[in-house]
Structure 1
């Protein structure tokens, strides 16, 4: 190992996928995503740094007639001092990363032979993803070298998404070898002197789930941006075929362009941007709106979530009659993305990221590198980017008025636009270029490769796994439970943070997702592990509000909302709530107790019309109709089953009729004092339902104490 930090030899390990220096096959399959581009550009950037003598990027040798022969070459030079070295392991053919686990020990052994045969050992080994993290753990311990780890994505988080997609725990294990992956990540975290992440949010919400989580070893270094691809306008953008394509949509194509570019995903919140544009006559006068939302041939052939997004977009565009002012192209190639940014910048436009949650925000950096000012959600990565670059405005993604105002202020003032554009260009060069990334990277690893390794962290004992799997949960309604007394709410949030590794936190509300998120942000309520919205018809999981598509498919059973609306259209005392309170699986009415029939009569009438539905009344004035398989209680039990949390270890705090089926049965239940006289008074004689003496969140804290929830998890009579 070198004792001279000016002569570093760095080994990067990225085992799976297809890696070569040019013409990367990104998107070929699930194993050839952004990580492949990242490790190649990282190797090239580090090799250019004057303190680095050599960089080897180690990957698996693939000799397979189904793929290019490039991947069978043992060594490929990819720049001065940088090369790809391909190591044999397992069968010669190309196999998916989930099938590589049995061959990683052979990969590590063959790599050991390669390194020992060299003129010198590396100064540091950096493993990328769980498989290379495992290899890195083996090599670092065998060679007594310092190790760095980047997870890119993590198994515990992936497991959440797979469960949300409808796979069973057994299928997740069989198809994805998720236990191997998590164990590999644990070993990498246990061995790594430094863990490099893209954002602080990634550290707090993902790595903290692991036994060997050590915040002292974490360092945030945002990925670099290729400034040879993403650059300011070159002067020929308006003569491109892309601009000709956009002009088909626009009556006045030379207006400034408001650009949004994302997947057609509900969490990207594109419809809020279209609504903000539609509600602002001034904005429509000033600029056109261009929405690039993936590629589509036929919307009906897309997956269900994307269909919903496009349907909402089409309806919103039509509602505000935005035809001729908005471009909505059906197709674009990956290599056209930089041109979209440059074209928008040449027209003095703005890039908008209105996502509900945004852990990093790579598109913001790309747009800034092309000279576009930014308007972005006040969350995660955008906060860091705009703070570093000072080139835009952070907005509440659910506040369409604020979004529209921010866009008008930037577009209408040429001096402001020029100032933000220039600041973004300078900020990207300073903070988000590959040169900046390489310099920051070396600042992180230099101390751990110095003679004596003086900066090694002092490791704390690992947390217990059973705690990190969190076998208990607290679910509560939002309105009149959490919200109502800010002091007790702050106390409750503090208690949940103190026990976050022991207990999962869930919110169950009748509100739609956007409405619930707005209230949570207003009152400083942290994102829950589970968010049940629209009266139990939608389930979302932290940390990225991943929707449970399997639940949506499960409840779409004999659900014919148009018949429900017809049957109830002439019923006295019922008035449909605004469209903002309706959703695909929930029909909501205002309920007039003096004129409307009893809820049981409404239910009976719908059953006579062969409508299999649930009817619930909240606060005596809000009536919800949902599919027969959907309610807060059914959603909670679905989560309990899929996540392996016993109902006996779930504390439910509620207070309206819509909460009743959450509270019956084997859950531990509580009704806060301000809601005793509402729809749940009939439950006062039920076992396992505690009626608190204090209101709002203070009542939940009282119930936690009553049930000794963090201890025995039983009521006083059962201890």
Structure 2
């Protein structure tokens, strides 16, 4: 990879089959124009001198039913671009509609990738709703600007399916449309920039969304790879696929009418066959060539493509089109440019009769090869023909209009030549990848001034949402930090303003590779209010509600995987009911409660012991963990939750050894994070319940109270230096403790 200074751009496109060569376009509904777009975008961006690195991140697929290419973790596209494949649920190939439950894991894998390379991208650019879901989380966690391209939109598709008579429950069961639309709404709210292909996409498609914000949308038409799509050269030879077409045709020398698409209902190819079959003059003027993906046996295809192909074969039979129509079973991506040149050579015409067309990459590919186009009067085709003036727009449901347009293109030699020349001269200025990349980078360079606060964060609507000049960093240090300081707020971080200011100064001056976290029993809003009040910089990591919630700054994005993990056998209503049976316990106010935390005041004079409380809950078959502190506060959380568990989860997730976490606490509420392999400090004003940790070799008991104790521990562990008080000294101390325990056991015997 290049080591020059420049932009690092991360592209995310989760579904389908993505590789850098011989794209299997049309193989299925998930391997279409989007796949081609993202690969060519990555290659085009990497050629620009201002770009240092481009990673196109997608799903790793290890399935004997598909090529082993898709199981390679890394595929090099150029010296500055590569495809990165990450785990996302089962390794077998899955359609995009069933990937939703696995996207949080994919987000974690993406974080691991960034941690391994030790470099943050300048921008994350997601493609389609599933990648948008991932990008909202990762970009929010890291504070990186999010760019999004929808490609197609759920609300638009839902409307179209309903108009076709599909029942709402069928749409939801197959497409999981509610989940998709919610992901799109969140992405629209979170993205700093939305890249659309057409003006119609901005106004008519995105315009039906609740979070429609046109000021953050820009139209940048996709590019065409002009080095592959070019007019017929003088020494051109007929391609091998021409032999395949000749098998179908009585007179293969005639001009060709060609449609190239996936066999999808939306592509409306059946109407084209009807228009051709019902017009004897068209049959005499030209052959019809349908390139509809690749197939072996239509009986094994999904229902949608099978239905489309069956209808086409029935129409061919009805109109007796044998000898006039070609429909090859296979074609390679490298053969597509040659098909366009063959079309130009026979003075044919390319047609896209789709019911709707967000853009239509095939139209500009055909244009770049000198072929006139006829296309549906919708989004992309309107913009293309307005720019290139190289064909006609048609109503895709008006058979006569389709027939008239085709006859005009095939019989008016002067118009054909003018359309061909117009397209060739104008496509480079309007639809080249060079033009696309220049406009793309022009907008990306403005993103630092267009940061958007994510609506994923509940804090944004909380009582501290009027923050104006609090020290909120632009990015999160989690992926690049090589050590982490995590502190409780109450009685630890806060308590002595002078010491707190010294800690802030040391973090600024010496902690350049140090991430900062908070682990507290407070809820999110309360914790942030306290930190802002004392002007402590926004942490990179927030563990709140006694370890039952994890958030990542600076946009305060929740970790949904952690919530799913700890929800195991969590029965809050049953816990409250069981606790109501005990004397001397009282629920704390609502602000002390959380989705995964139930907090009580304990009156020790009236209540049974803490041990008896926990036995009582176990007898009710309740899987809870209790955290008791200051002889009066009891937090009940899921069995898998605690501050210590949350810290270890984060260490694993972000790829940082737990021995490089320095944790600071003062009460029993902190015990789970102080014990174990973390570097730990108990500040001088600690509660007596932590005295039992004094024999632990990796727990340092400071003399200073509050933040003075944390500052002491920084020196004790040489935390900003070489972390000298880590493995060697700790292991020696552990050996001494183990030896002494063995001696005590021997003496007792």
For Structure 1 versus Structure 2, the TM-score category normalised by the shorter chain is 0.5 to 0.7
Choose from 269, 286, 289 the match for 1:288: 286
Over 3 Å counting, the alpha-carbon distance change for 1:92 and 1:392 in structure 2 is closer
Instruction: Kindly state the Cα deviation for residue 448 of structure 1 after the two structures are TM-superposed.
Output: 1.1
| 1:715 aligned partner | none
Secondary structure, in 3 states, of the residue corresponding to 2:14?
coil
Instruction: Give per-residue Cα distances to partners, 1:238-262, cap 9 Å, x unaligned.
Output: 7445444545665654343343445
Instruction: Give per-residue Cα distances to partners, 1:490-547, cap 9 Å, x unaligned.
Output: xxxxxxxxxxxxxxxxxxxxxxxxxxxxxxxxxxxxxxxxxxxxxxxxxxxxxxxxxx
Over 3 Å counting, the alpha-carbon distance change for 1:303 and 1:62 in structure 2 is closer
Aligned partners of 1:388 and 1:260: how far apart in 2?
21
| 2:58 aligned partner | 59
Secondary structure, in 3 states, of the residue corresponding to 1:187?
helix
| 1:392 aligned partner | 391
Q: Contact 2:244 / 2:328 at 8 angstroms: preserved in 1?
A: no
Q: Which runs of structure 2 are paired with 1:370-449 in the superposition (5 Å)?
A: 370-397=369-396, 406-407=405-406, 409-412=408-411, 414-449=413-448
Secondary structure, in 3 states, of the residue corresponding to 1:345?
helix
Aligned partners of 2:249 and 2:69: how far apart in 1?
45
Aligned partners of 1:64 and 1:251: how far apart in 2?
41
Indicate yes or no: 2:362 matched with 1:343: no
Q: Which runs of structure 2 are paired with 1:54-133 in the superposition (5 Å)?
A: 54-62=53-61, 70-88=69-87, 90=89, 96-116=95-115, 118=117, 120-133=119-132
| 1:134 aligned partner | 133
Instruction: Give per-residue Cα distances to partners, 1:109-160, cap 9 Å, x unaligned.
Output: 4433543554542211112222221221122222222111122233334445
Instruction: Kindly state the Cα deviation for residue 35 of structure 1 after the two structures are TM-superposed.
Output: 2.8
Q: Contact 2:349 / 2:374 at 8 angstroms: preserved in 1?
A: yes
Over 3 Å counting, the alpha-carbon distance change for 1:156 and 1:238 in structure 2 is same
Aligned partners of 1:89 and 1:442: how far apart in 2?
30
Over 3 Å counting, the alpha-carbon distance change for 1:209 and 1:6 in structure 2 is farther
Give the length in aligned residue pairs: 445
| 2:268 aligned partner | 268
Over 3 Å counting, the alpha-carbon distance change for 1:426 and 1:101 in structure 2 is same
Aligned partners of 1:158 and 1:350: how far apart in 2?
29
Aligned partners of 1:420 and 1:113: how far apart in 2?
51
| 2:607 aligned partner | none
Aligned partners of 1:173 and 1:74: how far apart in 2?
33
Q: Contact 1:235 / 1:346 at 8 angstroms: preserved in 2?
A: no
Aligned partners of 2:160 and 2:401: how far apart in 1?
32
Indicate yes or no: 2:219 matched with 1:230: no
Q: Which runs of structure 2 are paired with 1:296-695 in the superposition (5 Å)?
A: 303-304=306-307, 306-312=309-315, 314-315=317-318, 317=319, 326-329=324-327, 331-335=329-333, 336-397=335-396, 406-407=405-406, 409-412=408-411, 414-449=413-448, 453=449, 455=450
| 1:502 aligned partner | none
Instruction: Give per-residue Cα distances to partners, 1:62-110, cap 9 Å, x unaligned.
Output: 5566665554544332212112233445566655544443443343344
Secondary structure, in 3 states, of the residue corresponding to 2:446?
helix
Aligned partners of 2:188 and 2:266: how far apart in 1?
33
Instruction: Kindly state the Cα deviation for residue 384 of structure 1 after the two structures are TM-superposed.
Output: 0.9
Aligned partners of 1:73 and 1:297: how far apart in 2?
26
| 2:741 aligned partner | none
Q: Contact 2:252 / 2:287 at 8 angstroms: preserved in 1?
A: no
Instruction: Kindly state the Cα deviation for residue 352 of structure 1 after the two structures are TM-superposed.
Output: 3.0
More displaced stretch, 13-22 vs 406-415: 406-415
Q: Contact 1:56 / 1:84 at 8 angstroms: preserved in 2?
A: yes
| 2:188 aligned partner | 189
TM-score, L = length of structure 1? 0.53
| 1:213 aligned partner | 212
Aligned partners of 2:186 and 2:240: how far apart in 1?
51
Over 3 Å counting, the alpha-carbon distance change for 1:249 and 1:49 in structure 2 is same
| 1:16 aligned partner | 15
Instruction: Kindly state the Cα deviation for residue 46 of structure 1 after the two structures are TM-superposed.
Output: 0.7
Aligned partners of 1:208 and 1:132: how far apart in 2?
21
Q: Contact 1:265 / 1:306 at 8 angstroms: preserved in 2?
A: no
Secondary structure, in 3 states, of the residue corresponding to 2:387?
helix
Over 3 Å counting, the alpha-carbon distance change for 1:32 and 1:346 in structure 2 is closer
Secondary structure, in 3 states, of the residue corresponding to 2:125?
strand
Instruction: Kindly state the Cα deviation for residue 345 of structure 1 after the two structures are TM-superposed.
Output: 0.6
Unaligned runs of at least 5 residues, structure 1:
461-719
Secondary structure, in 3 states, of the residue corresponding to 1:149?
strand
Indicate yes or no: 2:77 matched with 1:42: no
Secondary structure, in 3 states, of the residue corresponding to 1:79?
coil
Secondary structure, in 3 states, of the residue corresponding to 1:348?
coil
Which of these two proteins has the greater Rg computed from alpha carbons?
2
Indicate yes or no: 2:120 matched with 1:152: no
Over 3 Å counting, the alpha-carbon distance change for 1:352 and 1:154 in structure 2 is closer
Over 3 Å counting, the alpha-carbon distance change for 1:396 and 1:367 in structure 2 is same
Q: Contact 1:11 / 1:124 at 8 angstroms: preserved in 2?
A: yes
Aligned partners of 1:152 and 1:417: how far apart in 2?
31
Aligned partners of 1:272 and 1:303: how far apart in 2?
18
Instruction: Give per-residue Cα distances to partners, 1:523-582, cap 9 Å, x unaligned.
Output: xxxxxxxxxxxxxxxxxxxxxxxxxxxxxxxxxxxxxxxxxxxxxxxxxxxxxxxxxxxx
Instruction: Kindly state the Cα deviation for residue 171 of structure 1 after the two structures are TM-superposed.
Output: 5.7
Unaligned runs of at least 5 residues, structure 2:
456-749
Instruction: Kindly state the Cα deviation for residue 378 of structure 1 after the two structures are TM-superposed.
Output: 3.1
Secondary structure, in 3 states, of the residue corresponding to 1:219?
strand
Q: Contact 1:222 / 1:432 at 8 angstroms: preserved in 2?
A: yes
RMSD: 4.1
Q: Contact 1:264 / 1:310 at 8 angstroms: preserved in 2?
A: no
Secondary structure, in 3 states, of the residue corresponding to 1:211?
coil
Instruction: Give per-residue Cα distances to partners, 1:469-510, cap 9 Å, x unaligned.
Output: xxxxxxxxxxxxxxxxxxxxxxxxxxxxxxxxxxxxxxxxxx
Instruction: Kindly state the Cα deviation for residue 438 of structure 1 after the two structures are TM-superposed.
Output: 1.9
Over 3 Å counting, the alpha-carbon distance change for 1:419 and 1:377 in structure 2 is same
Secondary structure, in 3 states, of the residue corresponding to 1:111?
helix
Secondary structure, in 3 states, of the residue corresponding to 2:77?
strand
Q: Contact 2:288 / 2:325 at 8 angstroms: preserved in 1?
A: yes
Over 3 Å counting, the alpha-carbon distance change for 1:83 and 1:245 in structure 2 is closer
Instruction: Give per-residue Cα distances to partners, 1:426-445, cap 9 Å, x unaligned.
Output: 32222223323222222232
Aligned partners of 1:94 and 1:268: how far apart in 2?
27
Secondary structure, in 3 states, of the residue corresponding to 1:36?
helix
